[in-house]
Amino acid sequence: MATIEILHVADCPNSGETLHRLQRAVSNTMPSNTPIKSILIDSAETAASLLFAGSPTILVDGVDLFSTEGRTSDLACRIYLTPNGVAGAPTQQQIEVALKSTVVSRRP
């Protein structure tokens, strides 16, 4: 079973909506018992030790679902390119497509 994590900072205005979209996307694409772990990034040290690319970051088995060139130890927001332009969270459809791609690419 995949390990799904959402990394976020405490004051991120987009982490709640991203978590809801992630939950719906997971329920549409993964086994029903797939857990989602929410991880609060509360220090630069924690950010540096994880694959944090800004808040919110979604990891599947330790891999950034929306991989970018850089990581950051800054407790900062992240931006995503969506069909509607730049946003603070990916769309549910983007999450579903990325989850399906991740699952397919890991099949033997």
Dist. CA 63–CA 6, nearest whole Å: 11
Flag whether the pTM goes above 0.85.
yes
Q: What is the pLDDT of residues 30-39, one digit of tens each?
A: 988 899 999 9
Tell me the pLDDT tens digit for each residue of 34-56: 999 999 999 999 998 888 999 99
Q: Is the peptide bond before 56 cis (omega within 30 degrees of 0)?
A: yes
CA 18 distance to own-chain centroid:
8
Domain ranges of the chain: 4-105
> Taking the CB of residue 23, how many other CB atoms lie within 10 A of it?
16
Q: For residue 61, which amino acid is it?
A: D
65-105 pLDDT per residue, tens: 998 766 677 899 999 999 999 999 999 999 999 999 886 55
What is residue 33's predicted lDDT score, i.e. its pLDDT?
A: 87
